[in-house]
Structure 1
Amino acid sequence: MADTQDERAGARGSGQDRAARVAAMQRAERAHAKRRRVALIAVPTVLVLGAGAGVAAVIAAQPDPPSLEAVRTFEYTGGQHTQEPVQYAQTPPVGGEHAPVWLNCGVYAEPVPNENAVHSLEHGAVWITYSPDLPAEQVEQLQEAVEGREYTVLSPYEGLPSPVVLSAWNHQLTLQDADDPRIGAFLSQYVNGPQTPEPGALCSNGVGTPTG
């Protein structure tokens, strides 16, 4: 009888031990599952935060746009036509009296008439002029800058105040070479820009035969 009682007590003890072990395992499993859920939530959050930081870093790394503070401004009124040659105050001119017919926009290998080019400026064109002795590779850079752009004129010009000069109606920027990043900024700002006296007017069907 004593043996039987001992066996029953042992069985109860074993059962309690097993129950305790099962409960412990269940608690451990629940804790593990909880940690997994936290990890699954945390990882996307870290990725999002990391992506945001990456975007912020890219934005922060972007260079400032080139400054156009050096652009000189003038005050000419449009609509003044003349058949006579004009003596302009600026070289090249940026406004004033001009020929009744505008210059066709495009690339020219030879100098173009001031009076016709100024009429193109009145229509919203940007006129890029360069010294005839500018190195050929820099001339090619200027050609690339205007390639595919409407309302631009590129031509050599004698007696410039600097190797490269960009002119729009009432606005002018002098540059030392064709590598200057302000060329693109000037084109973006002034091609058909708010300074244009006759917005929407043509820059074709005028005079002149551009090579490109």
Structure 2
Amino acid sequence: MKREQARQTRNRRIGIGGGIGAAALIIVLVIVFVVTGSGSTPAPVATKAEGVQTFTGLTQNHVTGTVDYPQVPPVGGNHAAVWLNCGVYDQPVPNENAVHDLEHGAVWVTYDASQVSGDQLTALRAALPTTYIVLSPYVGLPSPVVASAWGAQIQLTGVDDTRLADFLKTYWQSPDAPEPGAACTGGVTAPGLVS
């Protein structure tokens, strides 16, 4: 009988200890969840650099062939069904594929190769993120450097124009793009891909 009582006492203690341990674990998990879940991730600071033009009502249809875009370079609209692999190109890229990148939240930085080359081009590359960016020369630009995102564009006076950083902060991987975060690789590679 003493052995039975000792076994029951031991089992009771084990049960109580296990219950207290489980309750303590639940309390710790609730505290961790509240502490880590209550703080919201700060939204990126949306700055609108002086001179940004915005465009609304852009269509998003997949088409074949060339598209006559009203902006130079284009900022959205009908585009190729396959996106351009993001990266640095030393030759002009197809508008229709690059516009598909803009739909995915990429920024397309174009430059006038007759005005931007050598060290300036190296500095421009260094100022850009390594993903969700297309950098390419573009014939007929209205300024030495133009940065374009879906529905937004800024004409820059050159590589050292500080408004590029503000534009990237606002529009690079923007949740306002039609398909933010969709792939920027695994598409087509245009001639002239450098990296």
* Structure 1 and Structure 2 fold alike (TM over 0.5): yes
Match of 2:13 in 1: none
Letter in 1 for 2:172: V
Question: CA 1:99/1:182 → structure 2, altered by over 3 Å: closer, same or farther?
Answer: same
Q: 1-side partners of 2:171 and 2:161: how far apart? A: 16
Mark the runs of 5 or more structure 1 residues left unpaired by the alignment: 1-64
Match of 2:123 in 1: 141
> Does the 8 Å CA contact 2:75/2:152 hold for their aligned counterparts?
yes
Identity %: 52
Q: For 1:98, which of 79, 95, 101 is the aligned residue? A: 79
Match of 2:194 in 1: 211
Letter in 2 for 1:120: D
Question: CA 1:190/1:67 → structure 2, altered by over 3 Å: closer, same or farther?
Answer: closer
Letter in 2 for 1:115: E
Tell me the alpha carbon deviations over residues 11-49 of structure 1, each in whole angstroms, 9 at most, x when there is no partner: xxxxxxxxxxxxxxxxxxxxxxxxxxxxxxxxxxxxxxx
Structure 1 residue 86: Cα displacement: 0.4
> Does the 8 Å CA contact 1:98/1:119 hold for their aligned counterparts?
yes
Q: For 2:141, which of 151, 157, 160 is the aligned residue? A: 160
Letter in 2 for 1:145: A
Moved over 4 A (4+): none
Does residue 174 (structure 1) correspond to residue 148 (structure 2)? The answer is no
Mark the runs of 5 or more structure 2 residues left unpaired by the alignment: 1-45
Match of 2:111 in 1: 130
> Does the 8 Å CA contact 1:78/1:197 hold for their aligned counterparts?
no
Match of 1:198 in 2: 179
Does residue 115 (structure 1) correspond to residue 84 (structure 2)? The answer is no
Structural RMSD (CA): 1.7
Q: For 1:83, which of 64, 86, 89 is the aligned residue? A: 64
Structure 1 residue 72: Cα displacement: 0.1
Computing the radius of gyration over CA atoms, which structure comes out larger, 1 or 2?
A: 1
Structure 1 residue 67: Cα displacement: 5.7
Q: Secondary structure at the match of 1:142?
A: helix
Q: For 1:68, which of 49, 58, 78 is the aligned residue? A: 49
Letter in 1 for 2:124: L
> Does the 8 Å CA contact 1:163/1:177 hold for their aligned counterparts?
yes
Pick the structure with more helix per residue: 1
Q: How many residues align?
A: 147
> Does the 8 Å CA contact 2:48/2:170 hold for their aligned counterparts?
no
Structure 1 residue 194: Cα displacement: 3.0
Larger relative contact order, structure 1 or 2 (CA cutoff 8 Å, min sep 6): 2
> Does the 8 Å CA contact 1:86/1:115 hold for their aligned counterparts?
yes
Structure 1 residue 69: Cα displacement: 2.7
Structure 1 residue 195: Cα displacement: 2.4
Q: 2-side partners of 1:108 and 1:183: how far apart? A: 19
